[in-house]
Structure 1
């Protein structure tokens, strides 16, 4: 096929949860869509996320206290927020921009941007899963944040107030209420915050697979290729892959932490994209411990019940895309769980995992249409990629369309590429 004849209306680069959800929505609008990724669909960060629909997490992962924690971040290889000291020289410019975005006005813009996407996330997921006849993949049963120390009550009360001010549905649960709902949790738990407007996915990887099946049924083609570069031309965009060129009228860049190079090639814009390396530990013999996702305030990790067992997740490491995984960080999650239950969790046959979460210094994704409409962008969702995937897909479908803008979707100004 000649380069003058596009082989697809839209080429989606990235077969994670965001790329696949976008591809399905675009195909439903009548576009001919091809999805390109070096890995099979869902095998990146989408495979191993915590499975929690974290619509309550409207605040960025960092605040000004990160300055006090920096020595610990560098020295403690097992800490919940880790910065590899060997990666520090490359990370410093990114962290400098992060700190600038913690100034009051910038921080308020970040919270408003996260909140707008999160407020639409549950409804968008309901629509997406209903559309493929698989609503049972999402359990809309809320989530719980627990605390164990009496001196943590002040922090819990302050967090409840901050979340209520942001419109997050939140209720304080006493220790007795928690014991009735989750009787296997430790008697040392003092109380917690219950978030009714959240839920969890029974198997995040299966969600991707079901969306792939639906997309394929709608004519989407999935190609296993590595995208090496590309250029915008008169007809659209030509991508360079390890199996030759591929032309499309539009390209959607949705390849997560790997999106910066292609974005620069197609737009000339160098985005400050880094990666939060996230770890999980899957416990296949734990099936009846928790009724919903539970997070520990003091221990700073989350436990999500899934069909395949109990998934422990939540640790963050800044070490780039190239350094080998430190799987001791995954096993540390089991050590952190000790004392949270009346009986310790069974780690027999447990499997560790690490994946790359794409993160920008203002904690907001890029969702945009640039290069005269030939390039669409959907990446940088940090640890909220699963949560925000369905609403992002609706926004991208709207950007690719000439139809009037749908009501109820977030305004896109805060997610534009031009902010960098």
Structure 2
């Protein structure tokens, strides 16, 4: 990516800083530019290279339930005890994770979980059109693909589960249908012949590749006069008429910049910044893993979720990507290497022909999803300093909800009427 010269001051225009150059921060920076702000984007890493980089890339608008529901709680012990299952907590982090899990249990009860479903559904309903507006604006609408999505089962015992899923989806006006046998084979010829049935979502979209999209967003931001500073934010000092941002650049130099508006879009790394401004948010790093097979991006035609194995397969520009696992494990611990092997085993169970190649190449990656106990993001302003705003905590739906989040955030900053009620997404709701 091309990086512009670092700046120490902005002399003209209303000065707006976005902290965090992941997909949410990039969308927010572009939306702020469209609104008329002079925008500076700040991150210690290359834009799009942290959590956003490893996403499956599909806009999961059919995923409307929070991570915690009564059904999930009933299934959790079995999933947790399965050594090849999708859930675990590194033992070294178990004590630190306990308060988050306590809040998660409370948020998983029937009433709060249903409220969460309603909120997620509202955001997801608006997600695709927001992405269409965002990408069309920068001449990159070709990066949004209507590819369809399959949820697959390997055993006829899952037929009732598929029926319940279809019934629920239709209750939310989400198009889907059950497919079996020859119809399933026509949709995905290389899927394992042992599959029993699937639910097909014809209207699901995906991005061509998460990093490619971040690259396009960043280049458009720079071309429109945006500034990018490679630095770590060490302190936020909000005042009534400005926000001071202390920076430490990668060369060790420090500085303080002053902005009229600042939005914190730093994913899981937002937590420490919020603590500095009197906000204690139960934000945790939910570690996710992927394995990408770079020469096999055309092996499947749709995104595929295995209901049994709890992983997603996605055909991206970078290759065939297998994404899964859910670990509340912080940002310091190294990956659990056996998790990559589990992803490969699950991928082989679904796409056995892939592993017939004697020289099959693959790459491994682990990232940190910013997760709150109720699975809802924060889209809000500081209760005492409205010039400081926030957009983070999207958990598994960061790619899905990034563009609509940016629009909602800018509307809130400009005090426009809410198109989606945001009370459930307050920063002080905990």
TM-score, normalised with respect to structure 2: 0.92
Tell me by how many angstroms 1:159 deviates. 1.7
CA contact (8 A) 2:281 2:428 kept: no
| Long gaps (5+) in structure 2 | 1-6, 249-253
Say yes or no: does 1:257 pair with 2:263.
no
Q: Which of 180, 185, 191 is residue 185 of structure 1 equivalent to?
A: 191
Q: Which of 247, 259, 270 is residue 248 of structure 1 equivalent to?
A: 259
Say yes or no: does 1:358 pair with 2:370.
yes
CA contact (8 A) 1:110 1:364 kept: yes
Say yes or no: does 1:335 pair with 2:341.
no
Match of 1:356, SS?
strand
Say yes or no: does 1:384 pair with 2:397.
yes
Which residue of 2 is the match for residue 278 of structure 1? Answer: 288
Cα deviation per residue 1:329-376 (whole Å; 9 max; x = unaligned)? 123211112232352435722000001100001110000122342111
Q: Distance in 2 between matches of 1:199 and 1:327?
A: 31
> Which shifted more, 291-300 or 154-163?
154-163
Give the number of aligned pairs.
Answer: 416
Q: Distance in 1 between matches of 2:9 and 2:36?
A: 22
Q: Distance in 2 between matches of 1:187 and 1:259?
A: 45
Match of 1:168, SS?
coil
CA contact (8 A) 1:175 1:192 kept: no
Cα deviation per residue 1:77-103 (whole Å; 9 max; x = unaligned)? 542111223212111111111111122
Cα deviation per residue 1:103-155 (whole Å; 9 max; x = unaligned)? 22211110011101100001111111111111111211211111110111111
Which residue of 1 is the match for residue 110 of structure 2? Answer: 104
Match of 2:117, SS?
helix
| Long gaps (5+) in structure 1 | none
Match of 1:271, SS?
coil
CA contact (8 A) 2:80 2:87 kept: no
Q: CA RMSD in A?
A: 2.1
Match of 2:274, SS?
helix
Alignment of 1:9-20 (within 5 A): 9-20=15-26
> Which shifted more, 50-59 or 241-250?
241-250
Which residue of 1 is the match for residue 422 of structure 2? Answer: 412
CA contact (8 A) 2:70 2:110 kept: no
Q: Distance in 1 between matches of 2:240 and 2:185?
A: 64
